[in-house]
Structure 1
C-alpha cells in the first residue's frame, strides 16, 4: 500500500466520478512506470487521509492544520488534503494559493481548458449566470477579456461558492475593480458552499447572479437540472486554471517525473494537461 495520497476534488461531481477515477488510473499507472509510489485510488474523505498526531506542521514547525483524524470522517476538508504531508498529487485553486497555501505546496502542472467554452490552454474564465429568459446566452469573448454587464449586475443579489474561490469571487472582484467598480454594486452577497449550489440558488430565485468557472458550468449543463433555469449573461477575464499540486516535501526529482508522466498520459486525450508551472 502506498504511503502517499492523491485526489482530484475540484470537479469530482458524483455523476462524473467514473471519469475522475479513470483520469487518476491513467496518471497512477504512468507514475508507477517511473518508479513513483502512487496510491491505487484517490481519497474522498478525511478518514482516508493519514493521521498526523499533534497536527500538521510547516517547515518552521508551526502548526498549520489539525490531525485529520480529529475531523468529521465522512467529509473531505480541502485545506487538510492540500496541507497533508502525504499529498503526492492533488488539485487546488489559485485563490487559496494566493492566500497562503502556495507557501506549503509545489505546483506540478496546469490543466488544459480548451474543451470548455471560456477556456483556452491553461487559462479559464467564469460564466456569469442569471435566471433564464427569452434572450440568448452571451458567448465567451474570443480575446479572453472580461465581459461584465454592469447594468444587469447593479442592485442584484450575488451568491458565490467560497470566500477564497478565484472563479466564484476573486476573479469577478478584480474585474469589477478594473472597471472602477466593486462588489458594492450588489445589494447583497451570500455564500453557497459550491458552484452547483450557487446555480441552484439562482434557478430557484434565492439569488440573482453567480460566477461559475467554465468547467463547472459544463458539468452543470450535463448533470444539474437547475442549469436549465439559468443562462450566461457575461464572463470574467481568463486567468490561470486550477493547478495540480504536491506536498512541499516532495523531492524535485519526483516532481520532474510526475510532470513527464502527466505530459505523456494526457498528450493524446481529449483534454490534455499542460506542463506549464509559471
Structure 2
C-alpha cells in the first residue's frame, strides 16, 4: 500500500466524485507504469492524510502545520494536504501559491480549460454573476481581457469563496486596481466558504455579486439549481489556472516521470504538461 497521498479537491463536488475518481485512475495507472508508487484512491478527508507526529516542518525545520492526526478526521484541511511531505499529486490555487505556499511545493502541470467558457489552454477567468433579471448572460470576451461593469456593481454586496482565492477575490481585485478602483467599490464584502455557496447566496438575496471561476460556473450550471436564478454580467481577465503540485521533497526524476504521465493522459484527463 502506497504511503503517498493524492487528491484532486478543487472541483470535487459530490456530483463529480465519479468523474474525479476516473480522472485519478487514469493518472494513477500512468504513474504506476512509470514505476511511481501512486496511491489507489484520492484523499478526501484529514483521516486520509498520514500522521506526522512532530508536525509538518519546512526545509529549515520550522513548524508550518500540525500533525494531520490532530485535526477533525471528517473535515479536509487543504493546507494540510498541500504541505504534507507525503503529497505526490494534488491541486491548489495561485492565490495560496502567491501567499507563500509556492515555497513549500513544486508545480507539476497546469490544467487545460479549453472546454469551459472563459478558459483558453492553461488560462482561466471568472464569471461575475448577479441575480438574473430576464436579460441574457454576457459571453466571455474572445481576447480574454477583463470586462467589469463598474456602474452595475458599484455599491453592491460582494461575496467571495475564500480570502486566498485567486478566482473569487484576488483576480477581481487586480482587475479593479487596473481600472483605478478597489474592493471599496462594494457596499460590503463577505466570505461564503465556496463558489457554490456564493451562487446560492446571490440566488437567495443574501449577496449581490460574486466572481466564480469558469470551471466552477460550468459545474454550477450542471448541478446547482440556484445557478438558474443568476446570470453573468462580466468576466475577470484570464490568468493561469489551478496548478497540480507535489511536495517540495519529491525527487526531480519522479516529477519528470509524472509530467510524462500527465502528457500521456491529456486527452482523457484535460491536463497539459508544463516546465
Alignment TM-score > 0.5, same fold = yes
- Which TM-score bucket, shorter chain as reference? over 0.9
Shift of 1:143: 0.1
SS, match of residue 234 in structure 2: strand
TM-score normalised according to structure 2 size: 0.99
Offset from partner CA, 1:34-87 (integer Å, 9 cap, x none): 000000000000001000002100000000000000101000000000000000
CA contact (8 A) 2:259 2:274 kept: no
Report the counterpart of residue 276 of structure 1 in structure 2. Answer: 274
| Uncovered stretches (5+) of structure 1, i.e. residues with no partner | none
Runs of 4+ in 1 over 6 A off after TM superposition: none
SS, match of residue 173 in structure 2: helix
Report the counterpart of residue 200 of structure 1 in structure 2. Answer: 200
Report the counterpart of residue 78 of structure 1 in structure 2. Answer: 78
SS, match of residue 20 in structure 1: helix
Question: Matched residues in 1 for 2:31 and 2:186: separation?
Answer: 47
Report the counterpart of residue 262 of structure 1 in structure 2. Answer: 262
TM-score normalised according to structure 1 size: 0.98
Report the counterpart of residue 135 of structure 1 in structure 2. Answer: 135
Shift of 1:272: 2.7
Question: Matched residues in 2 for 1:245 and 1:171: separation?
Answer: 21
Matched, 1:214 2:214: yes
Offset from partner CA, 1:67-114 (integer Å, 9 cap, x none): 000101000000000000000000000000000000000000000000
Report the counterpart of residue 160 of structure 2 in structure 1. Answer: 160
Question: Matched residues in 2 for 1:276 and 1:46: separation?
Answer: 29
Report the counterpart of residue 11 of structure 2 in structure 1. Answer: 11
- Considering only aligned residues, what root-mean-square deviation do their CA atoms show, in Å? 0.6
Question: Matched residues in 2 for 1:70 and 1:151: separation?
Answer: 48
Shift of 1:135: 1.1
Report the counterpart of residue 92 of structure 1 in structure 2. Answer: 92
SS, match of residue 197 in structure 2: helix
Matched, 1:65 2:61: no
| Uncovered stretches (5+) of structure 2, i.e. residues with no partner | none
Question: Matched residues in 1 for 2:274 and 2:234: separation?
Answer: 28
SS, match of residue 129 in structure 1: strand
The equivalences for 1:8-47 within 5 A come to 8-47=8-47
Question: Matched residues in 2 for 1:14 and 1:52: separation?
Answer: 29
Shift of 1:15: 0.3
